[in-house]
A and B are shown apart, each in its own frame.
Chain A
Amino acid sequence: MNYLDCSMTEVVELLNSGKVTSQELVKLCFERIAETTDLNALNSTYFDMAMERAKQIDMARKNGEKLGCLAGVPIVIKDNINFLGTKTTCASKFLENFVSPYNATVAQKLFDEGAIIIAKANMDEFAMGSSSENSAFGPVKNPIDTYRVPGGSSGGSAATVKAKQCFASLGTDTGGSIREPSSFCGVVGIKPTYGRVSRYGVVAFASSLDQVGPLTRTVRDNAVLLNVISGRDEMDMTSSTTPVPDFTAKLEQGVKGIKIGVAKQFYTDKLSAEVRESLEKALAWYKSQGAELVEVDLPSLDTALAVYYIISSAEAASNLARFDGVKYGTRANNYQDIVDLYFKSRTQGFGKEVKRRIMLGNYVLSSGYYDAFYRKAKRVQKVIRKEFEDALSKCDVLISPTTATPAFKLGEKSNDHVAMYLTDIFTVPINIAGVPALSMPCGKNAEGLPIGMQIIGKHFDEQTIYQVANAFEQAHKEGV
């Protein structure tokens, strides 16, 4: 038995029953990492630190101490999540040598449950991108087809799970950055309800849209991991006090009587035939299981992308202003004065896409443009949010494709920014509405590339999403 083939939940059982030690698992993961370095999924790895921690946990287990629910499980986190003593580069040259001076709340929660953080996952610089090609440390490759992108920005987080370098990972999602790579790599990823998970210690891209979420090989793993990282955090005022239920509680309840909303705006002519076919098959399956398909309307869906690029860029421009070369990170040599120091440090430290968003963001916030762009975008956001709430009042979940096409080729869209931005048309509206959504594999195209299905839930109702997702997964164990 190759332990790396196990799900996270299975490996927890193996650890608990003493069939495998955490140290063995860490070693296996690092062997796998060594075999698959060409994927470039990881920015930094921590073998010694991981082994030390694994040793402690194995010892504690031997001594019969009470252990956390993830005790001994090797996990990877995205390189924009602070974890004490690890580099947090955000895949940017600017933070190339930045070592976290503190723990993000999510990292602390993983640590407290005994998870072993073994590496930091590569990504698009500052989480800006849909292909993980915007990394200062080179693009991530899709483990299924290394000529293709893994999606982004959490491309490393998806690839590392798919390539079995670890048992689960954390990513962040501002406009699809967990779901799109999950779709492209054929793993399960959720963008929780905005406010469900603390953002403290997660390097901000767009604060009002960012959420951390797990990427896993199974729906159950995902639910378990989300339970660990969720909940109100006094360090994040935007984290919600809404109680966190057991996300695994309804996993086995099936979908009989579940109302699945289908909005025609998700099934446009932009959708590739193979994706459409997979989704139709999945919906038909749900119907066959006693779920009810309900037609719903999201008339403003196509405005979400514009709203997203205004709001996210505005927030990003401000969030990234702290990277000024004064306190940490890149400081250019040979500057004349303070303005020159800012100018040169930021010019050298940031990649093209980041600069593009900073310029866009500052533009939409400038006096004279604020009302036309930012204020209007915030108004439209309210409309979109309302439409989602209305649609979700008529059903339990919405189902849509995660992306219009399966993974595209490396370099294919690098020079066509609009085409790249359009990759996110089905995922972006979810962040604008603040609702939770999960992506999971629902089929494959002729070339064997996974196709992702997006299950969208009501605010703070991740539980039903998992219920609906798990039913499908259980019925398609032999692969979709």
Chain B
Amino acid sequence: MSAYNTVIGLEVHSELNTKTKCFCACKNEFGDKPNTNCCPVCTAMPGALPVLNRDAVERAILMGLAVGCKINNYSVFERKNYFYPDLSKAYQISQLEYPLCVGGGLEIEVDGKKKFIRLDRIHLEEDAGKLIHDNAGTLVDYNRGGVPLIEIVSKPDMNSAEEAVAYLQKLRSTLLYVGVSDCKMQEGSIRFDVNISVNKEGEPLGTRTELKNLNSFKAVLRAIKYESNRQIEELEAGRPIIQETRRWDDEKGKTYSMRSKEDSQDYRYFPDPDLIPLEVSEEYIERIRAKLPKLSHQRVQEYLSMGLSEQDATLITQERSYADFFEAVLKLFNEPKFVCNWITAEVFKKLNAIEDEERTISVKPENLAVMLKMYKQGEINQAGARKIFDIIWEKDVDPVKLVDELGLKQMNDAGALKEVLVKIVNDNPKAVKELKDGNEKTMAFFVGQAMRATQGKANPKMVADIVKELIK
């Protein structure tokens, strides 16, 4: 079997977190009682007209600017016509010929190799409602109908499932940094469509298939791997690839044909006569640019100047929520390296234990700041700090009170420690000899013994100093 290239392009739909919907004044809110955030416009009552939400435009432009798009001064909303019960007007307001943002891209890194993924466009459109199937039949909830979405379309610049996922992670992270979307995969506020084809080295691009509505990184990873293998097997067996939309079955781990190009729908796009063309001036764009929050690369630079290593700075900025958390702790306890070390070690350990792809830091920054301060100042030792951290991760309790309640106050009383250590030194002549012979590791034995004798409260540094003094 000769070598095949896999070529992947991605379309990402991301709901914008505006207060109101894209074309009416209804609340943009997930999880409300069905059909409570509705009006004549989003339920397509006869005669109702859409009015563009400027805030949605602003957020779409913000994202465009964050990924280096050119913002078009002139863009047009078009109607994408198709019948489906969740689409109240029987057309979706979207953009086709003149999108709001074009170009731009993102840098990804896979196995230490950096790669720039180009974007084709970002355009603004509206979401559809939701169908709810139950025993009585199918019900429609129009709460989501008309919620603003941006569709971010990449160029076919990715060549592996890993690159695709790295791109999606970077894109999601950027959306969160810009703050225009909640990106909650389980709530469907970010969704992925994959275009994929394979071709032999040196040959023209193959026929592509489209995998629709994947809603987790893991699904994207598995679906792409499956689909590229399937296409290669088809070609090897002498069967042509059919241009079609395929559905990913996450349980079975397979893709299935949904509809081929022949019976694909003709959306009969045309400019929406109810919405005048969207014109944005350079001045307006610049005003929006001024509102652009600090992005990850800017924060990395800041953290480097605080003395963090490049690796740490990169780790801590991989998600905006991590960087925000880091900064929130620093506000109360300004020890960047010390705080960073705890986050990259202890906080990330907790996060990695969460199976969900969306991981949130559950400890309050003020609680962590108080605890770390006590740790740094020697009021508690590492063991105590970890014990407290386990508790404040689970619930919001005052670490100072915990230290008292659990009796974790570190023993810093040199006299008392000496008393304990004299006995330990006398009882362990063999260890004393080893230490005297220069075996530094034996010190751990003494620290351990001291901890046992003090229920873990001994200040380990003081223990070491006193032991050294005693055996002189």
Contact = CB atoms under 8 A, between A and B. Distances in A.
A328 B90 CA distance: 13
Contact of A366 (B90, B266, B273, B275): B266
| Across the A-B interface, the 9 shortest Cβ-Cβ residue pairs | A321-B90, A208-B273, A365-B268, A207-B273, A203-B46, A322-B44, A201-B47, A203-B47, A326-B85
Interface string B49-76: 1111000000000000000000000000
Interface of B: 40, 43-52, 79, 81, 83, 85, 88-91, 140, 266, 268-270, 273-276
A410 B436 CA distance: 121
Contacts of B50: 237
B45 A101 contact: yes
A228 interface: no
Contacts of B45: 82, 101-102, 328
Which size class do A's interface residues fall under? 35 or more
A81 to B, nearest CB: 8
Contacts of B81: 317-318, 321, 365
Contacts of A359: none
A200 B46 CA distance: 10
Contacts of A321: 81, 83, 89-91
Contacts of B276: 237-238
Interface string A93-109: 00100100110100000
Contacts of A201: 40, 47-48
A236 B49 contact: yes
Given A82-B47, A318-B90, 7 more contacts: A207-B273, A236-B49, A237-B51, A237-B52, A237-B275, A317-B81, A318-B91
Nearest to B44: A322
A424 interface: no
B92 to A, nearest CB: 11
B270 A202 contact: no
Contacts of A324: 83, 85, 90
A315 interface: yes
A365 B48 contact: no
18 contacts: A81-B47, A90-B46, A101-B40, A201-B47, A203-B46, A204-B274, A206-B273, A236-B274, A237-B52, A315-B273, A318-B91, A322-B44, A327-B43, A327-B140, A338-B85, A362-B268, A366-B268, A370-B270
Contact of B47 (A200, A323, A370): A200
Interface of A: 80-82, 88, 90, 95, 98, 101-102, 104, 199-204, 206-208, 234-238, 314-315, 317-318, 321-324, 326-328, 338-339, 342, 362, 365-367, 370, 374
Contacts of A326: 85, 140
B46 A98 contact: yes
Contacts of B266: 366-367
B273 A322 contact: no
Contact of B270 (A104, A203, A238, A318): A318
Contacts of A98: 46
A237 B274 contact: yes
Contact of B40 (A90, A102, A314, A338): A102
Contacts of A342: 83
A314 B89 CA distance: 15
A241 B268 CA distance: 31
Nearest to A321: B90
